[in-house]
Amino acid sequence: MNEAWSLPSMESRSSILPSLVVSGPDPIERMGATLTLRQIFETEESALLRYAFGLTGVRETAEDLVQDAFLKLQQHWDEVRQPRPWLYRCLKNLALNHLRHRRREISLDETHEWESPGRTADGNLGRLEALGTLRMLMAELDDDDRELLELKYREELKYDQIAARTGMSSGNVGYKLHHLLKGLADSLRRMGVESAEG
């Protein structure tokens, strides 16, 4: 992913969830603080959009799924005690449902690139979810760190070639890449992704 996620202007963001932003359910108290649906929307929307984009790879779909997740939160407002984890779980389920439905729409004659022999449907979904989670984590990296990973793994450059492009020493390139990969792997494990199969 080469471009950073940029959010629409506030005017167009408000149109994503007009009924939620303008008038939400009564505020609820969470850990000593009273939160409104609007406050949760304003604080979580950007991260949820990145997460949904990481899972689906399509900006418009990500926006639709985030909108659906907030609408579901509004419907279940009285039952939800922890809105943030609830939204992420809801969004993950919505994205998986979308991917299942989309997979049925794609004719197997058109593309086989995501499929390999012996893979199950759940394995494919796990792989797509793992890839989406990795995309999300990559989008949150600093530009310099993301550039290092792209030079190494997208352009398949060697350390000395990366050093020449970035002005870093070869040793520093190796050190930074090692720690970037370790950090990504740790983050993936914390998010429940243990392998490329999800």
Q: What is the CATH number of the domain that holds 141?
A: 1.10.10.10
CB burial string 75-105: b at 16+ within 10 A, e below = eebeebeebeebbbebbbebbbebbeeeeee
Using the predicted structure, report yes or no on whether residue 128 has a pLDDT greater than 90.
no
- Flag whether 112 is in a domain: no
129 and 57 together in one domain: no
50 and 16 together in one domain: yes
What mean pLDDT is reported for the chain? Answer: 74
Using the predicted structure, report yes or no on whether residue 15 has a pLDDT greater than 50.
no
Q: Write out the H or E segment, with its range, that includes residue 54.
A: helix 37-56
23 and 92 together in one domain: yes
- Flag whether 70 is in a domain: yes
127 and 68 together in one domain: no
CATH number, domain of 78, equals 1.10.1740
pLDDT at 57: 82
Using the predicted structure, report yes or no on whether residue 110 has a pLDDT greater than 60.
no
pLDDT in tens, 20-61: 443 444 444 444 456 788 888 998 898 899 888 888 888 899
pLDDT in tens, 57-92: 888 999 999 999 999 999 998 898 889 889 998 998
- Flag whether 52 is in a domain: yes
63 and 27 together in one domain: yes
pLDDT at 8: 41
Q: Of 53, 71, 105, which closes a domain?
A: 105
- Flag whether 152 is in a domain: yes
**Rounded mean pLDDT, 142-165:** 88
Q: Give residue 57's domain range.
A: 1-105
7 and 95 together in one domain: yes
- Flag whether 110 is in a domain: no
- Flag whether 148 is in a domain: yes
The sign of the dihedral angle between the CA atoms of 36, 38, 40, 43 is negative
72 and 133 together in one domain: no
**Rounded mean pLDDT, 118-130:** 63
